[in-house]
Chains A and B, each alone.
Chain A
Amino acid sequence: MSTTTAAAPVRTQSAPAPKHPPGHEPVHNYLLEPGPSPDVRGLARVWPTVKAWVTTVDHKRIGVMYLFAVSFFFAVAGIAALLVRAELMNPGSDFLTADEYNRMFTLHGVMMVFLFIVPSIPGSLGNFVLPIMLGVKDVAFPKLNLASFYVFIAGASIAVYAILSGGIDTGWTFYTPYSDETNTAVLPMTMAVFVAGFASILTGINFIVTIHKMRAPGLTWNRLPLFIWALYAVSIVQVLATPVVGITMILLAMERLLNIGIFDPALGGDPVLFQHFFWFYSHPAVYIMILPAFGVISELMGTFSRQKVFGYRAIALSSVAIAMLGFLVWGHHMFVSGQSPLSSIVFSLITFLIGVPSGIKVLNWVWTMYRGSVWLTTPMLYALSFLFLFTIGGLTGIMVGTLAVDVHLHDTYFVVAHFHYVMMGGTVMAMIGGLFYWWPKMFGRMMSETWGRISAGVVFFGFNMTFFTQFILGSQGMPRRYFTYLPEYHDLHQVSTIGSWFLGLGLLLVLGNMIWSLFKGKPAPGNPWGAATLEWTHATSPPDHHNFHRTPLVTHGPYDYGVLFSGDGYSGDGAGGDGSGGDGSRGPAPIPNPELGAPQEMEKSIDLGLAQPKPSRD
């Protein structure tokens, strides 16, 4: 059965004009189906459309809803960050009081961490791409997936309530005993974190089961795309670590409500215990934040270098190694907190060990370009930005992981700059790169390449101007979370604040580009980048409601770009352990024109008699 006939006994949605390139026309668009039929017009479309979306169990729609939700929180928390920076333009009070400032940076931290960055890549790109990459119709537990989104929204709503009811001024770390005695909205905010944590756990369970049990025929562990490896490692961390922060928040709430002395010294508790509990989750959490970005970067470096990712196995296994070691380094946040020096020494050592796999990854990514054919598209520019910025973030991580040096640098702007280089220079850059990369697949539209490149440049410049100055501020002794500061830090603060405006402008350009493309973007072919993973080779843009009409048959590794262009790409059953399928990968890998797209491999599939999707109930 050809997939392009419209003889199916279901409504077909014609693709939006202008037409997609020949051979790349989507048949059923998941954005429109299930939903009201095309002859329903005007306002009558609204309710059926809304109903179809809020009750969907389609991982793609859930991914899109996650994308909008986390983008919203990124915008709100980003505005808070701009206000924080603006207030720091001069010492003393410009337009915020000290208490307002404290609430503002806490809002920025809590929202960015718990409502944006933890769910960002797994929730949006992960939910959308993972099942298609594996050649499945949907994740293992579709309803659980929708539940995870609603749990996330519930947690986010409680957080918004906490902010509207006066905010919270503890910093995102909620350190006791300050969080025991402050009369701001600690209870709702801790409950928000508690609830949102379940969304993380549900997503993790879903991914683990899907990866283990549902891969398409031929998709061996050695042929898994590295994005999947990264999400697999992340899911393990999410499932194991998140309960700890949930319990910690419950304990804190019990202490505030019932005066049970757990952390509060006035009640016989131990405030340092809270820090242990908190970081036992929150350090693994920083790997929850960065590992998906590693996965995205692997995909980008492969596709845009037209070259197999160098050291496939090293990258795959280092993700898992980082996930495991990530549980054993929490104490490096506490070198000057009163934990025993012996603990500090052990934590410092393991921290250095975890630095090595991250370094291996960076070098592998750089070497992926070696003798490739580097295609400097917007996603690639973001990936290269990532490599540059994340390397700085990683090296300064060695700096703050060193015992004696950390005593000087702890709780200064050096740490702030370090984790922003990792989180924003790492995760956010990778996420934007990934969005530019998968946008055509998600929405069937190309983004503006020119404006994309301009935005990459502005973001890169603004980011460095904002945060590199903070390294110098920090090593000169400027502490974190300061509403005002000594005059000697004035100049660098001004530079940093002006940089934040450039950064904000760059991110606005990205947002504008996305909105523009939804309405005006050129229709995307099924495989604009000539990539070799299943979501590009076997699915249309945007994909059908069920992703595939036949079960895809995987015949080569995820980065064997040559196979697409050399006709017969069967490469035997080679499982060389390098992500390649064996000999079939030896071939040219020309670069396609993104507007016309590269060949797909729809024919490489197994017809299980499912060629005709059943009519879906509205």
Chain B
Amino acid sequence: MEREGTFWLPPQSSTTAHEVDALFYFILVMSVIIQVGVTYYLVKFAWKYRRRSHADRPVDVHPSKWLEISWVVVPTLLVFVVFFWGFKAFVSAGIAPDNAYQIHVVGKKWLWEFEYPDGTTSVGDLYVPVGEPIELIMTSTDVLHSFYVPEFRVKHDAIPNRYTTIWFEVKEEGEYQVLCTEYCGTAHSEMYAKVHAVDRGTFNDWLRTGGGNDNLPLNQLGELLYTKQACNNCHSVDGSSGIGPSWQGLWQAARPGSDEGVADANYIRTSIVNPNAYIVEGYQGAMPAYPNLTDRELNGLVAYIRDINGAWTAADSAAANDSTVVPADTLDVPTPDGDAELAPAD
């Protein structure tokens, strides 16, 4: 079935969307009727009783009690109808079914990170099974964000130090756009993510492979991660400057203050797991830490950076497994705030 939006609203892709839309259209029709009525009388009176001469005489009008009472009572009744309808839909959309599949969501500048019950994590891509209620348990590690999928008609703020939830059930397979709707700074308008609604089998396969990129060559894995982990929100690969330094020209660039003084594999790896270790001149330390990447993924990113800087050959691919980067556990990786327990106030 083709997803069809209307003039006013995007397609209804979740099971609760039609309730919201029905109410939207009810209010819309009522509003149009009232607006047309008001405009009709506005124009009619302005035209019919317009001045015709300087000596025009208006007729004295006695206020009509019934007229005045009617336009108090009728709107009041209408808004009560709308209120109760909105209230019902709000409550039903607000409470997730008991059997909902729970996924943890972390919003941070400027990406969405998803963690599945089995420990699989992904960034910028939320895979969900079609036809099952999904509950998102959301929080933020820095400022307010707001998780919004127009086609599902769901939205809720992600707040630091607090969990908020939304739930939805996708009706059909496809990709759906996630937007951030709570202003969060520079890349607020590019804090995109995609919901991939797939059938249960595909979803299970995806989970089992931890995101399904086990057998890619390292540089291609890095290229995939570049968008998947939302690196592209801040780092370009064509030399143009963004929130962070471009990756073009990064490999072996002078980096005063680091161990070797240049951007080598260790430098890049440290910069990913602990971004505040080295701050490049002219940039602010806005990058969140990525402690959850596997060694292979880190190697992939290093390989990709070498690749786009022309320092990667097929021989490297073969030798990639003997790479000389430091194992992750010897690095001093800080715990990001979002995962910290609430410390009692001193």
From the candidates A311, A399, A477, A481, name the one contacting B63 in the complex (CB within 8 A): A311
Chain B positions 72 through 89: 1 when the CB is less than 8 Å from some CB of chain A, otherwise 0: 100110011011011111
A392 touches B35 (CB 8 A): yes
From the candidates A314, A364, A476, name the one contacting B5 in the complex (CB within 8 A): A476
A376 touches B50 (CB 8 A): yes
- Residues in A whose Cβ lies below 8 Å from that of B72: 356, 360
The answer, yes or no, to whether A64 is at the interface (CB within 8 Å) is no
A356 touches B76 (CB 8 A): yes
Task: Give chain A nearest CB distance to B156 CB in angstroms.
Answer: 5
- Residues in A whose Cβ lies below 8 Å from that of B89: 403-404
Measured CA separation A265–B342 after assembly (Å): 10
A374 touches B38 (CB 8 A): no
- Residues in A whose Cβ lies below 8 Å from that of B71: 359-360, 363
The answer, yes or no, to whether A508 is at the interface (CB within 8 Å) is no
- Residues in B whose Cβ lies below 8 Å from that of A14: none
The answer, yes or no, to whether A372 is at the interface (CB within 8 Å) is yes
A178 touches B45 (CB 8 A): no
- Residues in A whose Cβ lies below 8 Å from that of B19: 404
Interface residue tally of chain B, by bracket? Answer: 35 or more
From the candidates B57, B63, B85, B345, name the one contacting A578 in the complex (CB within 8 A): B63
B159 touches A272 (CB 8 A): yes
- Residues in A whose Cβ lies below 8 Å from that of B144: 175, 177-178, 271
A395 touches B35 (CB 8 A): yes
Measured CA separation A591–B54 after assembly (Å): 5
B27 touches A310 (CB 8 A): no
- Residues in B whose Cβ lies below 8 Å from that of A183: 284
Nearest residue in A to B86 (C-beta to C-beta)? A402
Residues of chain A in range 354-398 having any CB-CB distance to chain B below 8 Å: 355-356, 359-360, 362-364, 366-367, 369-376, 384, 387-388, 391-392, 395-396, 398
A311 touches B68 (CB 8 A): yes
From the candidates B94, B150, B177, B337, name the one contacting A408 in the complex (CB within 8 A): B150
Measured CA separation A360–B71 after assembly (Å): 6
B57 touches A182 (CB 8 A): no
**How many A residues face the partner with a CB closer than 8 A?**
93
The answer to whether A265 and B9 touch (CB under 8 A), given A374-B45, A376-B50, is no
Could you list 19 further interchain pairs (A-B, Cβ under 8 angstroms) beyond the known A404-B88, A485-B189, A590-B55? Answer: A102-B185, A178-B184, A307-B61, A337-B157, A341-B90, A359-B75, A360-B71, A360-B75, A372-B49, A388-B39, A402-B86, A405-B23, A407-B153, A408-B153, A410-B155, A411-B148, A482-B188, A483-B188, A590-B57
Chain A residues engaging chain B, CB cutoff 8 angstroms: 98-99, 102, 169-171, 175, 177-178, 181-183, 261, 265-266, 268, 271-272, 305-308, 310-311, 314, 335-338, 341, 344-345, 348-349, 352-353, 355-356, 359-360, 362-364, 366-367, 369-376, 384, 387-388, 391-392, 395-396, 398-399, 402-408, 410-412, 472, 475-477, 479-486, 578, 585-586, 588-593
What are 20 contact pairs spanning A and B, CB under 8 A?
A: A169-B185, A183-B284, A310-B61, A336-B156, A352-B80, A353-B79, A359-B75, A367-B45, A372-B49, A372-B61, A374-B51, A392-B35, A395-B27, A405-B27, A407-B90, A407-B156, A408-B155, A476-B10, A477-B10, A477-B177
